[in-house]
Amino acid sequence: MEKLTTILIDKESHKFSAAHFTIFSATDRERLHGHNFSVSARIVAPVDDNGLTGDYAVYKRKLKQICDAIDEYTLIPSQSLYLQISEQDEYYRVTHDTDTMLFLKSDTQLLPVRNTTVEDLSSYLLDTLVEDKAFLNDQDIRELEVMVASGPGQTGASLWQR
Protein backbone atom coordinates (compact mmCIF):
# COMPACT_ATOMS: atom_id res chain seq x y z
CA MET A 1 0.00 0.00 0.00
CA GLU A 2 1.39 3.37 -1.04
CA LYS A 3 1.92 5.82 1.79
CA LEU A 4 1.57 9.54 1.07
CA THR A 5 2.84 12.26 3.32
CA THR A 6 2.71 16.03 3.44
CA ILE A 7 5.71 18.23 3.93
CA LEU A 8 5.77 21.98 4.42
CA ILE A 9 8.63 24.05 3.05
CA ASP A 10 8.64 27.41 4.82
CA LYS A 11 12.11 28.94 4.82
CA GLU A 12 13.23 32.51 5.51
CA SER A 13 15.00 32.57 2.13
CA HIS A 14 11.71 32.03 0.25
CA LYS A 15 10.65 35.64 -0.01
CA PHE A 16 10.48 38.54 -2.40
CA SER A 17 10.17 42.28 -1.95
CA ALA A 18 7.90 44.06 -4.36
CA ALA A 19 5.93 47.24 -4.90
CA HIS A 20 2.28 46.89 -5.89
CA PHE A 21 -1.18 48.31 -5.50
CA THR A 22 -4.43 46.42 -5.04
CA ILE A 23 -7.24 47.40 -7.40
CA PHE A 24 -10.70 47.42 -5.79
CA SER A 25 -12.82 48.72 -8.66
CA ALA A 26 -12.73 50.84 -11.80
CA THR A 27 -12.28 53.94 -9.63
CA ASP A 28 -10.68 52.71 -6.41
CA ARG A 29 -7.18 51.37 -5.76
CA GLU A 30 -4.50 51.46 -3.11
CA ARG A 31 -1.55 53.75 -3.38
CA LEU A 32 1.67 52.20 -4.60
CA HIS A 33 3.44 50.58 -1.65
CA GLY A 34 5.65 47.58 -0.93
CA HIS A 35 5.75 44.35 1.00
CA ASN A 36 8.25 41.72 1.96
CA PHE A 37 6.23 38.74 0.76
CA SER A 38 6.98 35.26 2.09
CA VAL A 39 6.35 32.10 0.10
CA SER A 40 5.85 28.56 1.38
CA ALA A 41 4.71 25.31 -0.16
CA ARG A 42 2.83 22.25 1.01
CA ILE A 43 3.82 19.16 -0.96
CA VAL A 44 2.07 15.78 -0.94
CA ALA A 45 4.09 12.87 -2.33
CA PRO A 46 4.74 9.20 -1.63
CA VAL A 47 7.23 8.11 1.00
CA ASP A 48 9.90 5.82 -0.47
CA ASP A 49 11.35 2.66 1.07
CA ASN A 50 14.00 4.78 2.79
CA GLY A 51 11.42 6.98 4.54
CA LEU A 52 11.95 9.97 2.24
CA THR A 53 9.34 11.95 0.33
CA GLY A 54 11.78 13.71 -1.94
CA ASP A 55 14.84 15.85 -2.08
CA TYR A 56 14.13 18.92 0.06
CA ALA A 57 17.01 20.73 -1.65
CA VAL A 58 15.14 20.45 -4.97
CA TYR A 59 11.96 21.87 -3.41
CA LYS A 60 13.83 24.73 -1.77
CA ARG A 61 15.75 25.56 -4.93
CA LYS A 62 12.54 25.73 -7.01
CA LEU A 63 10.84 28.02 -4.47
CA LYS A 64 13.87 30.29 -4.31
CA GLN A 65 13.97 30.54 -8.13
CA ILE A 66 10.35 31.67 -8.40
CA CYS A 67 10.86 34.22 -5.62
CA ASP A 68 14.08 35.58 -7.14
CA ALA A 69 12.36 36.07 -10.51
CA ILE A 70 10.04 38.75 -9.10
CA ASP A 71 12.18 40.10 -6.27
CA GLU A 72 12.69 43.89 -6.12
CA TYR A 73 10.27 44.77 -8.92
CA THR A 74 7.10 46.78 -9.19
CA LEU A 75 4.42 44.21 -10.03
CA ILE A 76 1.64 45.26 -12.41
CA PRO A 77 -1.34 42.99 -13.16
CA SER A 78 -1.46 42.82 -16.96
CA GLN A 79 -4.90 41.13 -16.98
CA SER A 80 -6.65 43.72 -14.81
CA LEU A 81 -10.07 44.80 -16.03
CA TYR A 82 -9.36 48.28 -14.71
CA LEU A 83 -5.89 49.13 -16.04
CA GLN A 84 -4.78 50.35 -19.42
CA ILE A 85 -1.15 49.50 -20.05
CA SER A 86 0.93 50.77 -22.93
CA GLU A 87 4.62 51.15 -23.70
CA GLN A 88 6.30 54.51 -23.98
CA ASP A 89 10.01 54.24 -24.75
CA GLU A 90 11.63 52.67 -21.67
CA TYR A 91 8.45 53.01 -19.59
CA TYR A 92 5.17 51.26 -19.05
CA ARG A 93 2.34 53.77 -19.00
CA VAL A 94 -0.32 52.48 -16.61
CA THR A 95 -3.68 54.22 -16.31
CA HIS A 96 -6.33 53.53 -13.70
CA ASP A 97 -9.39 55.79 -13.80
CA THR A 98 -7.89 59.32 -13.96
CA ASP A 99 -4.42 58.36 -12.66
CA THR A 100 -1.56 57.73 -15.07
CA MET A 101 1.69 56.29 -13.76
CA LEU A 102 4.99 55.70 -15.56
CA PHE A 103 7.14 52.75 -14.50
CA LEU A 104 10.61 51.97 -15.81
CA LYS A 105 10.40 48.71 -17.74
CA SER A 106 13.65 47.56 -16.15
CA ASP A 107 12.10 47.93 -12.67
CA THR A 108 8.71 46.45 -13.54
CA GLN A 109 7.22 43.04 -14.16
CA LEU A 110 3.88 42.73 -15.94
CA LEU A 111 2.38 39.60 -14.44
CA PRO A 112 -0.40 37.58 -16.10
CA VAL A 113 -2.79 38.16 -13.19
CA ARG A 114 -5.91 40.27 -12.60
CA ASN A 115 -4.64 41.83 -9.40
CA THR A 116 -1.43 41.79 -7.36
CA THR A 117 -3.11 40.31 -4.29
CA VAL A 118 -1.79 37.38 -2.27
CA GLU A 119 -4.55 35.30 -3.89
CA ASP A 120 -3.45 36.02 -7.45
CA LEU A 121 0.26 35.97 -6.60
CA SER A 122 -0.06 32.49 -5.07
CA SER A 123 -1.87 31.32 -8.21
CA TYR A 124 0.82 32.83 -10.46
CA LEU A 125 3.66 31.20 -8.51
CA LEU A 126 1.85 27.86 -8.44
CA ASP A 127 1.27 28.03 -12.21
CA THR A 128 4.97 28.75 -12.68
CA LEU A 129 5.89 25.66 -10.66
CA VAL A 130 3.44 23.27 -12.33
CA GLU A 131 4.63 24.33 -15.80
CA ASP A 132 7.74 22.31 -14.98
CA LYS A 133 6.36 18.82 -15.62
CA ALA A 134 9.77 17.23 -15.07
CA PHE A 135 9.89 18.68 -11.53
CA LEU A 136 6.42 17.31 -10.74
CA ASN A 137 7.13 13.90 -12.27
CA ASP A 138 10.69 13.46 -10.95
CA GLN A 139 9.54 14.26 -7.43
CA ASP A 140 6.26 12.30 -7.88
CA ILE A 141 4.31 15.24 -6.48
CA ARG A 142 0.60 14.46 -6.11
CA GLU A 143 -0.52 17.75 -4.65
CA LEU A 144 1.13 21.14 -4.42
CA GLU A 145 -0.10 24.20 -2.57
CA VAL A 146 1.71 27.53 -2.72
CA MET A 147 1.09 30.15 -0.05
CA VAL A 148 2.02 33.83 -0.31
CA ALA A 149 1.90 36.11 2.74
CA SER A 150 2.15 39.89 2.63
CA GLY A 151 2.64 39.99 6.38
CA PRO A 152 1.73 38.04 9.51
CA GLY A 153 -1.85 36.79 9.38
CA GLN A 154 -2.49 37.66 5.72
CA THR A 155 -1.91 34.72 3.38
CA GLY A 156 -3.36 33.54 0.08
CA ALA A 157 -2.99 29.97 -1.14
CA SER A 158 -3.50 28.13 -4.43
CA LEU A 159 -3.75 24.38 -4.87
CA TRP A 160 -2.82 21.96 -7.69
CA GLN A 161 -3.68 18.27 -7.62
CA ARG A 162 -2.58 15.51 -9.98
Q: What are the residues whose beta carbons fall under 8 Å from the beta carbon of 117, sequence distance 6 or more?
A: 22, 156
Alpha helices in the chain (DSSP H): 56-68, 118-130, 133-138
Q: Percent of the chain at pLDDT above 70?
A: 100
Count CA atoms closer than 13 A to 29's CA, side-chain side.
Answer: 26
Residue 109 and residue 15: Cα distance in Å, rounded?
16
Q: What is the radius of gyration, based on Cα positions, of the chain?
A: 18
Is it the case that residue 16 has pLDDT exceeding 80? yes
CATH superfamily of 4-76+114-161: 6-pyruvoyl tetrahydropterin synthase/QueD (3.30.479.10)
In tens, the pLDDT along 57-104 reads 999 999 999 999 999 999 999 999 999 999 999 999 999 999 999 999
| Residue 82 confidence (pLDDT) | 98
Residue 59 and residue 41: Cα distance in Å, rounded?
9
Cβ atoms 107, 94 nearer than 8 A: no
DSSP-derived secondary structure letter, 114: S
3-state SS assignment for residue 54: coil
Cβ atoms 121, 71 nearer than 8 A: no
The packing angle between helices 118-130 and 56-68, to 10°, is 120
Is it the case that residue 52 has pLDDT exceeding 90? no
3-state SS assignment for residue 156: strand
Confidence grade of residue 55 (pLDDT, cut at 50, 70, 90) = confident
What is the arithmetic mean of pLDDT over 134-161? 94
